[in-house]
Structure 1
Amino acid sequence: MIEFEHLFQFVAFGAYGTLSKAAESLHVSQPTLTRNMKLLEQEFGVMLFTRSKNHIALNENGLLALKEAKKVLSELDAMTDKVRQLDRSRHTLALGSCAPYPVMDFVRLATELYPAQSLTTELRGTSPLLQGLREGRYQVIILPFTPTDTALISFSFGKESLYFNLPKGHPREKCPSLSFSDLDGTTMIVYSHIGFWKDLIKETMPHSRFLLQEQRDDFFELEKASTLPSFITDRVLSEETLKDRTSVPIADQSAHIEYCLVMTKKMSQRYPLFAKRLNQK
């Protein structure tokens, strides 16, 4: 039976070319490495090296063995990664979301229902989210629509509506509501990490220029100092009091979202408390 440790040392010798350098890299003594290479030859049942007084090199058998050993160790690494990934997946609940606010709701819910699980969250577009769910990168995703795939299970997971956030004195400040088209062509300040909302406003306001801000604090500072319109949602409005801006509802249907929490049937069996809780609402 060939020892994996001997193969690992053999590959190190192939990389460094000398026993002394390979032994140094492996933090073993040269006599130990020499002995293990002789044992490896016995395990193969053929000579792998040509030896002279102060030199050792791979022969034709050794070169082929080195090539195959690299494949075996690579497959061993891949196997180890897969097993560890499976173990992590059983202890980690990975959420992919189309928008930031539903993430907060999910974290509160998951922490209550599955306190022993570690949580990871990520904002992505809807197509990568669906693909990631099917491929197992996410156990749960949140979408701004109900998917039609019958292999997936969906639960209503709250609503959110988009508003224009207008500076005081803006000509449209007193309007009871506005459409995207009413401000299309306007330069707007936008925080970059708002998920699918960013794609939505680009599609519905194709003539506007958006000043994207990567840092949240920078966005708020610019918003305070600027006379340019921005966006806000009713979720933010429910938690914050506006001082120098007026929020105006956007009348377009696309500005009013009902989120869906989506799982595969397999994941719904692993995490049945989500279905139990959300079906009660």
Structure 2
Amino acid sequence: MELVQLKQLVVIAEEKVLSHGAERLNISQPALSRSIQRLEDELGLPLFDRTKNSMVLNEAGAAIVEEAKKVLSDADALLKKAHALKNEEKHIRIVTCAPAPLWKLSAELGAAFPKIKITSSMPDEDSIISLLLSEKAELAIVRKEIESEAISTLPLTEEQLCMRIPLTDELSKKKSIKFADLAGKEIREYTKTGFWHKVHRDLIPGAVYIEYDDIMVYTNVINSQNPLTFVTELANTHSQNPAGAVTVPITDEEACAHYRLAFLKKNEAALRGIVDFSAKSARGW
């Protein structure tokens, strides 16, 4: 006896006509008839009253259909439990084009799924799609639409870039600025910012950068010296102004990143709980 036979039996009972059941199950009518005959042989009793032109569920068949529904329901519950256990023990690899959404997402997932092992990396943005397709990552945070039939994406969150400006700088009097306003300025920058690192250099002509690879050193410097530096609300740096500085938004189109969560379509069922949770959590960031 196979679960597929029980499903076939239930479908026939629901459709009441063998040909309709075969069409719904996408198999031929003779193949469906043979499968049900094998089930009857194994059970040792007929489930249908047959005539030359019809096949009607009998009393025994109706009783077996109800039991079959219970078995199928239990089998479905078993599969859901197995998927839940698999998710609990899952190793999720996340690649990202920028650090801030990854920091948020990793913290949320770690709290909600403590048994999941999460590892992450921030590769070159152009390599993210290939990492997904080669299954070297389960999830990806991207800022561009992905033109691949194998990959699904959904909106995650956005990040608005701002500038922390000391009050001694004339730009501190502005309500907003453009990248061009920062031309020739000395800017302190944390270098591990993914695609933002290139955006700064492409759009701010002649800026002088003092770079920091260590986040702790960088944080200490900007808090103690009050220099020009980039901040965002998503990275939790937007409102942390020391005395003598203000935060001013950068209004260029390129200063706002719209992030999406990407994953392989074939893995969607296995990742559904994590993906749904991520999207829901991101709405509150």
Q: Give the TM-score taking structure 1 as reference length.
A: 0.62
| Equivalent residue, structure 2, for 1:149 | 148
1:129 corresponds to which residue? 128
- 2:255 corresponds to: 255
Tell me the secondary structure at the aligned position of residue 149 of structure 1.
coil
What does residue 272 of structure 1 align with? Answer: 272
Matches within 5 A, 1:161-172: 161-172=160-171
What is the distance in 2 between the residues matched to 1:233 and 1:170?
20
- Answer whether contact 2:156 2:261 (CA < 8 A) is retained: yes
Q: CA RMSD in A?
A: 2.3
Pair 239,170 (structure 1): closer, same or farther in 2 beyond 3 Å: closer
Say if 1:135 and 1:183 are closer, same or farther in 2 by CA, change over 3 A. Answer: same
Deviations 1:172-215 (A, max 9, x none): 10100000011122121101112211111111114212111111
- The 1:164–1:279 alpha-carbon spacing in structure 2 relative to 1, beyond 3 Å, is closer
Look up the match of 2:110: 111
Separation in 2 of the partners of 1:114 and 1:226? Answer: 39
Question: Which stretch shifts more, 90-99 or 169-178?
Answer: 90-99
Match of 2:217 in 1: 218
- The count of aligned residue pairs is 193
Deviates more, 1:119-128 or 1:236-245: 236-245
Where 1:173 maps in the other structure, the secondary structure is helix
Please say if residues 224 and 244 of structure 1, whose CA atoms lie closer than 8 Å, have aligned partners that are also in contact. Answer: no
Separation in structure 2 between the aligned mates of residue 243 and residue 124 of structure 1, nearest angstrom: 36
Task: Find the counterpart in structure 1 of residue 189 from structure 2.
Answer: 190
* Letter of the structure 2 residue corresponding to residue 243 of structure 1: A
In the alignment, the residues of structure 2 paired with residue 207 and residue 127 of structure 1 have an alpha-carbon distance, to the nearest angstrom, of 26
Q: Secondary structure at the match of 1:202?
A: helix
Q: Offset at 1:115?
A: 3.5
- 2-side partners of 1:205 and 1:162: how far apart? 14
Contact kept, 8 Å, 2:241 with 2:247, in 1: the verdict is: no
Shifted more, 112-121 versus 153-162: the winner is 112-121
**CA–CA distance in 2 between the matches of 1:238 and 1:223?**
13
- Indicate if the aligned counterparts of 1:155 and 1:278 stay in contact, CA closer than 8 A: no
1:227 offset after TM fit, Å?
A: 5.9
> 2-side partners of 1:186 and 1:213: how far apart?
17
3-state SS of the aligned residue for 1:110? helix
The residue that corresponds to 2:44 in the other structure is none
**Matching residue's letter, 2:157:** G
Runs of 4+ in structure 1 deviating by more than 4 angstroms, as ranges, are 278-281
User: How far apart are 1:276 and its partner, in Å?
Assistant: 3.5
| Equivalent position of 2:206 in the other structure | 207
Are the equivalent residues in 2 in contact too, given 1:184–1:207 (CA < 8 A)?
yes
How far does residue 113 in structure 1 lie from its aligned partner after superposition? Answer: 5.3
What are the superposed Cα offsets for residues 65-110 of structure 1, whole Å, 9 maximum, x if unpaired? xxxxxxxxxxxxxxxxxxxxxx9xx831000111122112222343
Structure 1 counterpart of 2:229: 230
2:159 aligned residue: 160
Rounded to whole Å, the distance in 2 between the matches of 1:267 and 1:125 is: 23
Residues 156 and 278 in structure 1, CA contact (< 8 A), matched pair in contact too = no
TM-score by length of 2: 0.61
Structure 2: unaligned runs, 5 residues or longer:
1-85
CA distance in 2, matches of 1:237, 1:112: 22
> What residue ranges of structure 1 are gaps of 5+ in the alignment?
1-86
Offset, 1:160: 0.8
What is the identity percentage for the equivalent residue pairs of Structure 1 and Structure 2?
Answer: 18
CA separation of 1:113 and 1:271: change in aligned 2, threshold 3 A: farther
